[in-house]
């Protein structure tokens, strides 16, 4: 896979992507030189080749037993380069790269810490701020929510400008317009999922004393973004309402935020009645159920 014309590499990448769909092929694909060849697809100057390579690696990462081989053979630096703002990765290639990073981070906190030490956030946050596409934003938001589960990484997330990006994902007019323009149900679902995971990340930070103080500096802005999701009424998925309400509840422990909630009390009561009446909270999960 490392030799031949770009067209031959593309055919090889497509074949690897097809083989990866069968778990029986995973042992062969994770063998030394074969895995090296698969990973080199990620570094291809051809977006199409890199996209197929990212697809293969994302499928392999679904199996935690492959993580040691993937990381040991240098998958992380290659994935981070695809995530970087200057990367020429296709939208699908970017989404699959983020899905792979999410699977690695979900499996082990040490792997999440390794990503952050390797420079994930300075690459990921500017990329998400540019709204690279619904699927990429969905996986990127889930990755940020995963990182926010680990308090030591919350500080890094804040210092890298994560609050601003999460607010963009929580109330993203550009993504909403994109989903509406596509006319596809899955596009709307991806937009809602990105918002839900952004709300989850902010709620996890609001539950941590040191980070809650930083969120309260922008308390009214965060509250407004959460209330936008409640304004969606019954069209908002239960998981999105759950995290929006959780975020509001945590912030409302501060008197200034509580005062800002009162003018919207009727909306909050309506949503609470719907949620408690339908017992929707039981349908809600965290970012670990995103994959």
Calpha distance 286→240 (Å, rounded): 10
φ, ψ at 192 (rounded to 5°): -65, -40
Quick one: 72 exposed, middle or buried, by C-beta within 10 A (0-12, 13-18, 19+)?
A: exposed
Residue 267's domain comprises 133-291
Q: 281 pLDDT band (50/70/90 cuts)?
A: very low
Q: Is the pLDDT of residue 1 over 60?
A: no
The whole-model pTM stands at 0.83
238-253 pLDDT, tens digit per residue, is 888 889 889 988 887 7
Calpha distance 11→7 (Å, rounded): 6
Same domain, 105 and 143: no
- Axis crossing angle, helix 209-217 with helix 219-230, rounded to the nearest 10: 90
Last residue of a domain, one of 130, 153, 170: 130
Same domain, 145 and 289: yes
Least confident of 95-104, 264-273, 280-289: 280-289
Same domain, 159 and 288: yes
Same domain, 277 and 145: yes
Minimal CA–CA distance to 68: which of 37, 104, 26, 29? 104
- The tally of domains found in the chain comes to 2
CA 284 remoteness from chain centre: 17
**Rounded average pLDDT over 199-217:** 88
DSSP character at residue 34: H
**Rounded average pLDDT over 117-128:** 96
CATH of the domain at 34: 1.25.10.10
pLDDT above 90 covers a percentage of the chain that reads: 42
Positive or negative, the CA dihedral 127, 132, 137, 139 is: negative
Same domain, 162 and 289: yes
Same domain, 228 and 283: yes
Calpha distance 93→162 (Å, rounded): 23
Last residue of a domain, one of 99, 130, 161: 130
């Amino acid at each position: 896979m490392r030799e031949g014309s770009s067209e031959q590499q593309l055919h090889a990448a497509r074949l690897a992507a097809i083989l990866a769909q069968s778990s029986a092929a995973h042992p062969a694909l994770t063998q030394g030189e074969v895995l090296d060849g698969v990973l080199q697809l990620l570094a291809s100057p051809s977006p199409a080749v890199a996209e197929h390579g990212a697809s293969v690696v994302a499928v392999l990462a679904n199996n935690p037993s492959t993580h040691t081989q993937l990381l040991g053979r240098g998958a992380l630096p290659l994935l981070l380069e695809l995530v970087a703002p200057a990367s020429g990765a296709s939208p699908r290639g970017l989404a699959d790269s983020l899905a792979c990073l999410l699977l690695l981070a979900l499996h082990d906190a040490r792997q999440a810490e390794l990503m952050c030490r390797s420079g994930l956030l300075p690459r990921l946050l500017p990329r998400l701020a540019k709204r690279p596409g619904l699927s990429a934003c969905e996986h990127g938001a889930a990755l940020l929510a995963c990182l926010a589960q680990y308090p030591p990484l919350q500080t890094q997330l804040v210092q890298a400008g994560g609050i601003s990006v999460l607010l963009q994902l929580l109330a993203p007019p550009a993504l909403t317009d994109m989903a509406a323009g596509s006319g596809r149900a899955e596009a709307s679902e991806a937009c809602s999922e990105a918002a839900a995971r952004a709300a989850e990340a902010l709620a996890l930070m609001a539950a941590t004393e040191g980070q809650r103080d930083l969120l309260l500096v922008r308390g009214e802005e965060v509250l407004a973004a959460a209330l936008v999701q409640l304004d969606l009424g019954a069209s908002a998925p239960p998981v999105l309402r759950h995290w929006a309400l959780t975020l509001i509840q945590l912030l409302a422990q501060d008197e200034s935020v509580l005062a800002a909630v009162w003018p919207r009390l009727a909306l909050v009561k309506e949503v609470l009645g719907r949620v408690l009446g339908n017992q929707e909270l039981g349908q809600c999960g965290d970012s670990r159920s995103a994959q």
